Chains A and B, each alone.
Chain A
Amino acid sequence: QVQLQQWGAGLLKPSETLSLTCAVYNWSLSGYYWNWIRQPPGKGLEWIGQINHSGTTNYNPSLKSRVTISVDTSRNQFSLKLNSVTAADTAVYYCTTGWAYWGQGTLVTVSP
């Protein structure tokens, strides 16, 4: 059974960089795209971007200037960085693949 476990800082100040990592268990990164999704409190889901095992990325244009998704195949992990955060970036962030397998979610709060 594929398992995704994610972690990262949950409280940031404005202008800091959000950094999250998602580890994949019982599955190889090869052959699939690995996605990041976010959900502001009480709101809907937003696709942030994705990466495959070779490092090919696709980003949401609404966030592209601030987002970097990277992959570490040796550790079977992929990561999200979002710089210059504001209160509008406060959300639960999820990693997911195939849309059937999801990390547990990380609440990231941006507050002065």
Chain B
Amino acid sequence: DIQMTQSPSAMSASVGDRVTITCRASQGISNHLAWFQQKPGKVPKRLIYASSSLQSGVPSRFSGSASGTEFTLTISSLQPEDFATYYCLQHNSYPYTFGQGTKLEIK
């Protein structure tokens, strides 16, 4: 199985901060990496697909990038509605695997 090591597991930040969340794959996954946002009691929402493509309707403050097996989700200027849990997903190899999640809280 491909392990997706996501970091940090939790963080606190302030409105307006720039935030970076990372997922490292245990082996190559091409660009088959998506990022999701999940709020309590809600369905996961895809933010980024193909490692760096922005989902339609998602604010441009969200961006994704990749370098080898390291993938990054960046929120350029945190807004109050961005406080949530974020997950990465690799869908390159079976079984598909998610990162452990990053809980982003208000400082």
Binding site for B on A (CB under 8 A): 35, 44-47, 58-62, 94, 99-100, 102-105
Please, how many residues of chain B have a CB less than 8 angstroms from a CB on the other chain?
A: 19
Interface of chain B, helix or strand or loop or mixed? loop
A101 to chain B, nearest CB (A): 9
Q: Is the CB of B43 within 8 A of A45?
A: no
Complex Cα spacing A20 to B16, Å: 42
* A-B pairs with lowest CB-CB distance, top 10: A47-B96, A60-B95, A45-B98, A102-B43, A44-B101, A100-B46, A99-B46, A99-B34, A58-B94, A44-B100
Q: Which residues of chain A are within 8 angstroms of B99 by Cβ–Cβ distance?
A: 44
A-B contact pairs, 15 of them (CB 8 A): A44-B99, A44-B100, A45-B44, A45-B87, A47-B89, A47-B96, A47-B97, A60-B96, A62-B95, A94-B43, A99-B36, A100-B46, A102-B43, A103-B43, A104-B43
Q: Is the CB of A61 within 8 A of B87?
A: no
Of chain A, the residue at the smallest CB distance from B40 is A42
Hey, what's the 0/1 contact readout for B80-107 against A, CB within 8 Å counting as 1? 0000000101010011111111000000
Complex Cα spacing A62 to B94, Å: 11
A111 to chain B, nearest CB (A): 20
Binding site for A on B (CB under 8 A): 1, 34, 36, 43-44, 46, 49, 55, 87, 89, 91, 94-101
Picked from B34, B36, B43, B46, the residue with its CB within 8 Å of the CB of A105 is: B43
Complex Cα spacing A58 to B77, Å: 39
Complex Cα spacing A94 to B55, Å: 20
Q: Is the CB of B100 within 8 A of A47?
A: no
Q: Is the CB of B95 within 8 A of A99?
A: no
Of chain B, the residue at the smallest CB distance from A102 is B43
Complex Cα spacing A79 to B99, Å: 26
Q: Is the CB of A61 within 8 A of B95?
A: yes
Q: Which residues of chain A are within 8 angstroms of B34 by Cβ–Cβ distance?
A: 99
Q: Which residues of chain A are within 8 angstroms of B49 by Cβ–Cβ distance?
A: 99-100
Complex Cα spacing A102 to B89, Å: 15
Q: Is the CB of B98 within 8 A of A44?
A: yes
